[in-house]
Amino acid sequence: MSHDTYKLTESFGGFSEGDILDVTARFGDWHTYTAELEPRSEPRATTPKVVITDDPAGFTEAEILDPTARIGDWHEYDLQFTPEDGSDAAADDQIAVTMPEFEAVSEPVSA
């Protein structure tokens, strides 16, 4: 994800085809998300964010039932979730997708 702006080529997560999303944050290796994008045309406080993850959150059933699973694996699993501050957050605050999923519905735009 080296570009700063993406145009949606399909409707996706409540956004319409043709909407422009700007990268508003990039995160390091220890963060759950790689990047965060927000729509350019809408007020940012009223629209959901798109967050790019390296992997889908959670473990598969086989990984959960694996008798050789390490405690560190569960710690990584715990890091897959953003801590809540106790306030009631709307479920639509974020749309989490992997980079291949996002690339399938968007294209980079030159600035």
pTM of the model: 0.61
Q: Which residue has the higher pLDDT, 94 or 10?
A: 10
Q: What is the DSSP string of 59-107?
A: --HHHHH-TT--HHHHHHHHTTSPPP-SS---GGGEEEEEHHHHHHTEE
Residues 61, 100: Cα–Cα separation, whole Å: 23
**Where are the chain's structural domains?**
5-82+91-108
How do residues 53-107 score in pLDDT, each as one tens digit? Answer: 876 655 667 777 777 766 666 656 665 655 554 444 444 578 888 888 899 999 9
Residues 110, 107: Cα–Cα separation, whole Å: 10
